[in-house]
Amino acid sequence: MKLFLQALVIVPTALGALLVDFNAARGDDPSVLGLRNLEAARDDKRSDNAADLYIKAEKDANGTAAAHFHRDKGNIRAEYHALNKKTQADKTYWIGYDFAVPKIQKSLMIWQFKEFVANNANDNGANIPLALEFIDSKHLQFQYQASGTDKRVGQWQKNIIPNRRYKIGIAINTGAPGWVELYVDGKQQGLGEGAVKRLTANTFPGRADPKFGAYRGEEIEMDTFVYDVQIGESKADVARAAGF
């Protein structure tokens, strides 16, 4: 009886560490991911799904359940903004992201850690401190932007095969400086010129939140499929989505 009571005390604490938990195979609606961001032309923001721009629970070409992010040619954004106004400084967030991209386009960004407060001339905060962006028709790059006057710099890249699922794990310690780690299909990757396991970085100039889906690369019609997303406070929290 004593052990049972102890378990009741422990379980809520453990569950509370998982901040976002989306699993398409479980039948979750994509809204679990957070705030839906749809944008056609620049500053032409849409509140509802439409035939040319949407995020829906559907299936990929193989019949696997997924959140389907779709943009017709010319539309620039189909993303979910997670942890909106909830991220905090001096914390470590673990992110698991399971996705596939049927077509690859240069400048397509499939994930970003977007700055929302210090992105101005006075604070000189990086617009996008961290991002996953395609730099050509094959290579996905993990990028870091140190400040508003610095460009995003590639820290790692990989040849991505269309329609293949990849599980990405990202650990972000929010600070100035903080640090970041990257994992692909459960294996830790080297970052930067020294291929370091933990990259010191200005990850949180004001308030940065994670965004998932498809941004830029609007020169072609774009579809991305997201199968699993977890955000938590420990590596164990995101084991399923990150492939740990």
CA dihedral 74, 154, 94, 99 (to 10 degrees): 40
Residue 9 lies in a domain: no
230: containing domain = 20-242
Q: Which residues of 1-18 are buried (b: 16+ CB within 10 A; e: fewer)?
A: eeeeeeeeeeeeeeeeeb
Q: Over the stretch 66-84, which tens digit does the pLDDT of each residue have?
A: 999 999 999 999 999 999 9
Has residue 6 been placed in a domain? Answer: no
13 falls within a domain = no
Q: Which residue's structure tokens are 């386009």?
A: 105
| Average pLDDT, rounded, for the chain | 93
- Separation between Cα atoms, residue 129 and residue 119, nearest integer Å: 10
Please state the domain count of the chain. Answer: 1
pLDDT of residue 16: 47
User: Hey, what amino acid is at 93?
Assistant: Y
Q: Is residue 184 part of a domain?
A: yes
- Residue 39 is predicted with a pLDDT of 98
Which CATH number is 203's domain given?
A: 2.60.120.200
Low-confidence ranges of the chain (pLDDT < 50): 1-16
The pLDDT score that the predictor gives to residue 156 is 98
Inside any domain, residue 1:
no
Return the pLDDT at 10.
Answer: 39
194 occurs within a structural domain: yes
Does residue 149 lie within any of the structural domains?
Answer: yes
In a domain, 213, yes or no: yes
Quote the CA–CA distance of 10 and 4 in Å, as a whole number.
10
* Displacement of CA 95 from its chain's centroid (Å): 7
Whole-number pLDDT of residue 200: 98
